[in-house]
Chains A and B, each alone.
Chain A
Amino acid sequence: DAKTTQPTSMDCAEGRAANLPCNHSTISGNEYVYWYRQIHSQGPQYIIHGLKNNETNEMASLIITEDRKSSTLILPHATLRDTAVYYCIVRVESGGYQKVTFGIGTKLQVIP
């Protein structure tokens, strides 16, 4: 699995867009970019994933650069409840089970 690099921590003002970067310069062609988050003391939560194209769902948008060496998770209007640790993970999708390998992630603090 490709290694990812994320900033250790970030702040964002409530109501503003939170842009969380992730570098994955060694990503291979069949590896997807996944984002999870973990709100304090809760179970991790799947957010979004993508391969090449930008993706959007009700929680967030994922922007992947054309060379796929980096991506940005965007929370369009951050709220205090978005304060969490955000994990960027790259992984091949293949048949069967796949364990999630969590790194340290980015601690996002949304400030009132």
Chain B
Amino acid sequence: EPEVTQTPSHQVTQMGQEVILRCVPISNHLYFYWYRQILGQKVEFLVSFYNNEISEKSEIFDDQFSVERPDGSNFTLKIRSTKLEDSAMYFCASSLASGSYEQYFGPGTRLTVT
């Protein structure tokens, strides 16, 4: 069964450093998303991406964040200058299209900022 994959599973970085989290969505999916979950809190939407453009972003997704689909398979989230409060699980998701709310999530990347 096709699945969303994410790398790395765990990333430790120092405050102020740049990190890139990588995702490979399901191959025939057209919509891509990033969510995050701070430990013990709700899963929060960050950004959605379609047709090489951001469709929607939350207030969390400020100028420190960017997304890219550099080739036909990868979808990346970059945090330019990490802060302690960026420590969280980051989940990538993808969906087929046409308004389906059925999204498939990856296993997540645990980001620890020290």
Contacts and interface: CB of A to CB of B under 8 A. Distances in A.
A100 B93 CA distance: 10
A43 B31 contact: no
A61 to B, nearest CB: 17
B42 A93 contact: no
A102 B46 CA distance: 12
A97 B50 contact: yes
B98 A95 contact: yes
Given A34-B101, A43-B93, A95-B98, 17 more contacts: A42-B108, A43-B105, A43-B106, A44-B43, A44-B103, A44-B105, A93-B101, A96-B50, A97-B33, A98-B95, A99-B33, A99-B48, A99-B56, A100-B45, A100-B93, A100-B103, A103-B42
Interface of B: 4, 31, 33, 35, 42-45, 48, 50, 55-56, 89, 91, 93, 95, 97-108
Contact of A102 (B42, B48, B97, B104): B42
| Of B33, B45, B103, most A-chain CB atoms within 10 Å | B103
Indicate the size class of the contact surface on chain A: 20 to 34
27 contacts: A38-B43, A41-B89, A42-B107, A42-B108, A43-B4, A43-B91, A43-B105, A44-B43, A46-B102, A46-B103, A49-B101, A93-B100, A95-B99, A96-B31, A96-B55, A97-B50, A97-B56, A97-B95, A98-B95, A98-B100, A99-B45, A99-B56, A100-B33, A100-B103, A102-B42, A103-B42, A104-B42
Interface in A75-99: 89, 91, 93-99
B88 to A, nearest CB: 12
Contacts of B55: 96-97
B92 to A, nearest CB: 8
Contact of B99 (A42, A43, A94, A101): A94
Contacts of B108: 41-43
A109 B111 CA distance: 27
Contacts of A101: 45
